[in-house]
A and B are shown apart, each in its own frame.
Chain A
């Protein structure tokens, strides 16, 4: 019952045989060996598996690989370019927006789309914008800061200070 699909992942085309029930996240991780995309729950709650499907952030644990047939998938491995890190990656590093790193790829991919819809989001908009991504380590303060940093950088403005406000 396997079917042939072709998906483009980070710009590279892959033709694969899949069972219809295979989840996109498993194909990305186990067949394409792009293990930056993670699995953190079974109920579409945590967002660790977030990737872009035709530019929209989705939870790849709740999408069948066969649904991605003919579509473009972007994962964290495709974020940095020859020129260097994506502003979001830089923002997370500079602002300590990660601890264990497990939720980070999903958080980054979600933030990519968030900034596409809104290039200068408020703290409130960022918090609602990442409401589908759980982080257990950081308490979110520095993730908000990291996204603000990236948004400033992408707008060509001066980036805010990365020193901790630890009075």
Chain B
């Protein structure tokens, strides 16, 4: 623990030997390309594949009508809504799959795609989510019997009446309307698969870019069981994954079509998206319109909050949230502050946009919640003229008040928010910066300092509350130690770069005393790995990491029994130190873990089960609540609106740290995915539903030039309920960074009476705001 072990997985990646889906080449493999809709909403009048089928190498063109014969033209989403695999009559968003071209190589498939003629009858789409609820808006989901509007669900939490009363009577009330934009995870590897159906054995091997292979296997069996693909006949293999960030949790139509085609022709079928397909059609993240309000006293006591959300889900609710939580963990939005009155409500609507609502390196809508609370907290500070750091210090939940019950029902496990912010302020030199800012303001120069002190909620989750499609959100570890003391450990999670092969080995090494380099970690093959819900929402360390520790402890218990037998003493006479048991008071009488394991296969006590293996399915008693204190310093060019992030200090608290190097790496990466939506990224649609930035030319993923040199640090407040006191960290920075950046920019502009700007805050937006205030 706490050791920056270099990563075991790196050797293959730095030598070009990573093994990703597109690297798979099977004998006789066919290639699939997908014809997509140019319209956001249209009737399909006809699909003519005649010319396409004339192209040498093109074998088939598959349409929704073909899939309908097998009842495979619709599939369930993770939120129990339904989604078209291929349409039979209507397209619901631009870039929706319309037909699939199957060919002997990718060039022929691409030519075939160009040659498929589709006749459409365009209809007026619903793009603005607010207009989606107008009484005269067309009802989009006519496939749903009796559906009379575009409303999907309503959700609320908190005390509506008490909150109304508080807001009516409070000394100070601030309010801002915010949009958390529709963004895209854009892992550098797009999504894809090779579906390999073996007709003779009636067996499907599905190689795919998935963060949750087991859940996918179950979904395939649920969708295709009726044609013979029952769960024991399906093997899902998730090879190396080139980044996931939530975008590789859902089941996309392309996967299902590939399976259907392989099933029908009996050959392997490869489908790998282009970047533009990935950006335009795969699940988006965020897209919450939030009205945020805070009530408090003139001297700065936060008394309550109120949040009203309109969620734009596109044409189907394909969010990846636990079943009971349609807004994910948005209810963490009361934040790091000690008050008990809140009311939150959300309504979700259909529009003619791609479906989704996945994370973007974020635990189930926490980013939206944190943005709302951290922005409105700053707004409150601005309103009453109090330093935002001071205001936060005065309102934080105190260290000694944990476990702390939030007004929305969570029990925060542990935290020391004062320590985090204090450290961040020291590292950045907060007081000096405020002095510099005051000087600059006198000269008319724009400099801003922004703070975000967030509480995350990760590690889903306790099975009493958390499931996806009914499957409980536990996770698993299986450890097998071979006779010579070397081990293989398998998990239900799936790394997409998080370094599981190293950190899990370190956890087991810590518990069992076997060196990490002797522990081989495997994930991603449903034939061998124990069942688990996969890697997303920063849940791997909180769940599978815990499972590894518990499974290792089971083995240690067995080791104690064997050691007692070998040393001919009672178990109670033995003491453990990493790597061996020794007799109390006689340390020279000891057995190493390697000797004990060897005995488990060669000389185990009579009546004891032979071998040295353990499996554990870990069902966490609570979620974990990592936190962070981030401070951002910006300089703004008044004439052009350009923003320079001069400093960014991130102090994270993710409990006990297994590998500081990997934790810091996660923080760096998350911060860049934090600045991305704060200043660069947004999927933009025009009023006809055309995407205006569907390639990397215009969807602005930050490079090393835009990404600042991050300054990182940590405090340690262990989770009291996690076996090794860890909390999870992969997403904290993505959650915490955007409000710090937005607060810094708004702080820079505050002298001109600007109180809020929606992210992404671009030079253009800044310049416009200054223009309206007559500043340039």
Q: Give residues in A with beta carbon < 8 Å to B.
A: 19, 21-22, 26, 29-30, 33-43, 45-46, 48, 75-77, 79-80, 85, 89, 92-94, 96, 98-105, 108, 123, 126-128, 130-144, 163-167
Closest residue on chain B to residue A30 by CB atoms: B25
Q: A135 — which chain B residues lie within 8 A by C-beta?
A: 188, 704
Find A164's partner among B22, B23, B664 (CB 8 Å cutoff). Answer: B664
Asked if A35 and B10 sit within 8 Å, CB to CB, the answer is no
Given contacts A75-B16, A93-B10, A166-B712, contact A102 B242 (CB under 8 A): yes
Asked if B709 and A123 sit within 8 Å, CB to CB, the answer is yes
Q: B427 — which chain A residues lie within 8 A by C-beta?
A: 167
Asked if B188 and A136 sit within 8 Å, CB to CB, the answer is yes
Smallest CB–CB gap between A137 and chain B, Å?
Answer: 5
Q: How far is the CA of A167 from the CA of B713 in the complex (A)?
A: 4
Main SS of chain B's interface residues?
Answer: loop
Q: B671 — which chain A residues lie within 8 A by C-beta?
A: 139
Stretch in B492-500, B544-552, B583-591 touching the partner: B492-500
Asked if A163 and B4 sit within 8 Å, CB to CB, the answer is yes
Asked if A139 and B707 sit within 8 Å, CB to CB, the answer is yes
B15 within 8 A of A: yes
Asked if A79 and B15 sit within 8 Å, CB to CB, the answer is yes
Asked if B707 and A140 sit within 8 Å, CB to CB, the answer is yes
Asked if A166 and B668 sit within 8 Å, CB to CB, the answer is no
Q: B704 — which chain A residues lie within 8 A by C-beta?
A: 126-128, 130-131, 133, 135, 140, 143-144
Stretch in B92-100, B348-356, B693-701 touching the partner: B693-701
Closest residue on chain B to residue A91 by CB atoms: B14
User: Which range holds the interface residue count of chain B?
Assistant: 35 or more
Q: How far is the CA of A165 from the CA of B705 in the complex (A)?
A: 21
Asked if B13 and A42 sit within 8 Å, CB to CB, the answer is no
Asked if A164 and B4 sit within 8 Å, CB to CB, the answer is yes
Asked if B705 and A131 sit within 8 Å, CB to CB, the answer is yes
Smallest CB–CB gap between B317 and chain A, Å?
Answer: 26
Asked if A139 and B669 sit within 8 Å, CB to CB, the answer is yes
Smallest CB–CB gap between A33 and chain B, Å?
Answer: 7
Given contacts A94-B6, A100-B189, contact A138 B665 (CB under 8 A): yes
Find B16's partner among A41, A76, A100, A137 (CB 8 Å cutoff). Answer: A76
Stretch in B146-154, B161-169, B454-462, B655-663 touching the partner: B655-663
Closest residue on chain B to residue A80 by CB atoms: B15
Asked if A93 and B11 sit within 8 Å, CB to CB, the answer is yes
Q: A123 — which chain B residues lie within 8 A by C-beta?
A: 709
B334 within 8 A of A: no
Q: B9, B186, B668, B713 — which one has the most chain A CB atoms within 10 A of its CB?
A: B668
Smallest CB–CB gap between B674 and chain A, Å?
Answer: 9
Asked if A134 and B188 sit within 8 Å, CB to CB, the answer is yes
Smallest CB–CB gap between A166 and chain B, Å?
Answer: 4
Q: A35 — which chain B residues lie within 8 A by C-beta?
A: 16, 19-20, 22-23
Asked if A139 and B6 sit within 8 Å, CB to CB, the answer is no
Q: B660 — which chain A residues lie within 8 A by C-beta?
A: 164, 166
Q: How far is the CA of A137 from the CA of B190 in the complex (A)?
A: 14
Given contacts A19-B107, A100-B242, A139-B668, contact A131 B703 (CB under 8 A): yes
Interface members, chain B 368-413 (any A CB < 8 Å): none
Closest residue on chain A to residue B14 by CB atoms: A89
Asked if B705 and A36 sit within 8 Å, CB to CB, the answer is no
Main SS of chain A's interface residues?
Answer: loop
Asked if B497 and A43 sit within 8 Å, CB to CB, the answer is no
Smallest CB–CB gap between B564 and chain A, Å?
Answer: 41
Q: A163 — which chain B residues lie within 8 A by C-beta?
A: 4, 661
Q: A167 — which chain B residues lie within 8 A by C-beta?
A: 423, 427, 712-714
Q: B703 — which chain A residues lie within 8 A by C-beta?
A: 127, 130-134, 140
Q: B496 — which chain A residues lie within 8 A by C-beta?
A: 100
Q: A140 — which chain B residues lie within 8 A by C-beta?
A: 668, 672, 703-704, 707
**27 contacting pairs across A/B (C-beta < 8 A):** A21-B107, A40-B190, A41-B696, A42-B276, A48-B188, A75-B16, A93-B11, A94-B6, A98-B14, A101-B10, A101-B13, A102-B242, A104-B18, A105-B16, A130-B704, A136-B186, A138-B669, A139-B665, A140-B668, A141-B710, A164-B660, A164-B664, A166-B660, A166-B663, A166-B713, A167-B427, A167-B714
Given contacts A100-B497, A127-B705, contact A137 B661 (CB under 8 A): no
Q: How far is the CA of A41 from the CA of B662 in the complex (A)?
A: 27
What per-residue 1/0 map shows which CB atoms of B238-251 lie under 8 Å from chain A?
A: 00111111000000
Smallest CB–CB gap between A11 and chain B, Å?
Answer: 15
Q: A36 — which chain B residues lie within 8 A by C-beta?
A: 15-18
Q: How far is the CA of A26 from the CA of B275 in the complex (A)?
A: 16
Asked if B16 and A102 sit within 8 Å, CB to CB, the answer is no
Asked if B668 and A89 sit within 8 Å, CB to CB, the answer is no
Smallest CB–CB gap between B269 and chain A, Å?
Answer: 16
Asked if A142 and B668 sit within 8 Å, CB to CB, the answer is yes
Q: A30, A34, A93, A144 — which one has the most chain B CB atoms within 10 A of its CB?
A: A93
Q: A80-B15, A101-B10 are known contacts; what are 12 more A-B pairs with Cβ within 8 Å?
A: A33-B25, A35-B20, A43-B275, A45-B701, A85-B14, A93-B6, A101-B242, A136-B185, A139-B707, A163-B4, A165-B712, A167-B423
Find B15's partner among A30, A77, A126, A164 (CB 8 Å cutoff). Answer: A77
Closest residue on chain A to residue B12 by CB atoms: A101
Given contacts A46-B275, A140-B668, A166-B713, contact A38 B189 (CB under 8 A): yes
Asked if B672 and A139 sit within 8 Å, CB to CB, the answer is yes
Q: A94 — which chain B residues lie within 8 A by C-beta?
A: 6
Smallest CB–CB gap between B625 and chain A, Å?
Answer: 21
Q: B12, B14, B660 — which one has the most chain A CB atoms within 10 A of its CB?
A: B14
Q: B25 — which chain A residues lie within 8 A by C-beta?
A: 30, 33
Q: A143 — which chain B residues lie within 8 A by C-beta?
A: 704
Closest residue on chain A to residue B22 by CB atoms: A39
Asked if B14 and A108 sit within 8 Å, CB to CB, the answer is yes
Find A96's partner among B12, B22, B423, B665 (CB 8 Å cutoff). Answer: B665
Find A134's partner among B497, B666, B701, B714 (CB 8 Å cutoff). Answer: B701
Q: B241, B244, B669, B697 — which one has the most chain A CB atoms within 10 A of its CB?
A: B669
Asked if B243 and A137 sit within 8 Å, CB to CB, the answer is yes
Given contacts A42-B275, A46-B696, A140-B704, contact A99 B713 (CB under 8 A): no
Interface members, chain B 1-57 (any A CB < 8 Å): 4, 6-7, 9-20, 22-23, 25
B187 within 8 A of A: yes
Given contacts A131-B705, A141-B709, A165-B712, contact A136 B16 (CB under 8 A): no
Q: How far is the CA of A85 from the CA of B11 in the complex (A)?
A: 9
Smallest CB–CB gap between B493 and chain A, Å?
Answer: 15
Q: B697 — which chain A residues lie within 8 A by C-beta?
A: 43, 45
